[in-house]
Amino acid sequence: MSSYIILGALTGFPLLLGILFRVNPSHLFFSVMAGELLGRYFGDDAELVIKSLTNSETFAHYAELVIIVLPILFTALFLKGSIEKTKLFYAWIPLLIAGVVLAAFALPTLPTEMLARATSTEIGAQAYESIELVIGVVVGFQLATLWLLNKNKGHSKNKH
């Protein structure tokens, strides 16, 4: 049961923020990617700082996860209302995709016992084993969507 809660919380976080704060899914997806890069490069340093300040291993284990999640949270707060209410209905699929990518990035950063709980179910184990595939497919889908849906239609060889 706790494995489904962990996976659901990670996957649902961008979806919940995107709908509650009406944030453009592209902005949240970018924040997920930025958070992963920040976590990768600064997670160990943050863990050392937390260990030295608190003398606690418990909080230090979550340092990289917090670094991954903070850009998503700040994006939701700063870009609140960046999508119209009428377009919010169409945003839930890209927001869910951002959540899947967040879960793929966040799973390996969980403490050992929490990771064991998250991967104890068949769904969790499959998600953990196919992280590279999920990320590759989703990023490819996002890029294709960006390229195909954002063509500049108004500037086709007009002379000024």
pTM higher than 0.75: yes
pLDDT, residue 54, reads 87
Q: Say which amino acid occupies 69.
A: V
**Residue 70: pLDDT over 70:** yes
DSSP for 27-80, written as a single string: HHHHHHHHHHHHHHHHHHHHHHHHHHHH--HHHHTTHHHHHHHHHHHHHHHHTT
**Average of per-residue pLDDT across 50-73:** 90
Q: How many CB atoms lie within 10 A of CB 27?
A: 17
Q: 40 exposed, middle or buried (CB, 10 Å; 0-12, 13-18, 19+)?
A: middle
Q: Say which amino acid occupies 8.
A: G
Report d(CA 111, CA 38) in Å as an integer.
18
pLDDT, residue 135, reads 84
**Residue 150: pLDDT over 80:** no
Report d(CA 133, CA 158) in Å as an integer.
42
Report d(CA 88, CA 67) in Å as an integer.
27
| pLDDT tens by residue, 2-48 | 778 888 899 999 999 999 999 999 899 999 999 999 999 999 999 99
Q: How many CB atoms lie within 10 A of CB 137?
A: 14
Greater confidence, 138 or 40?
Answer: 40
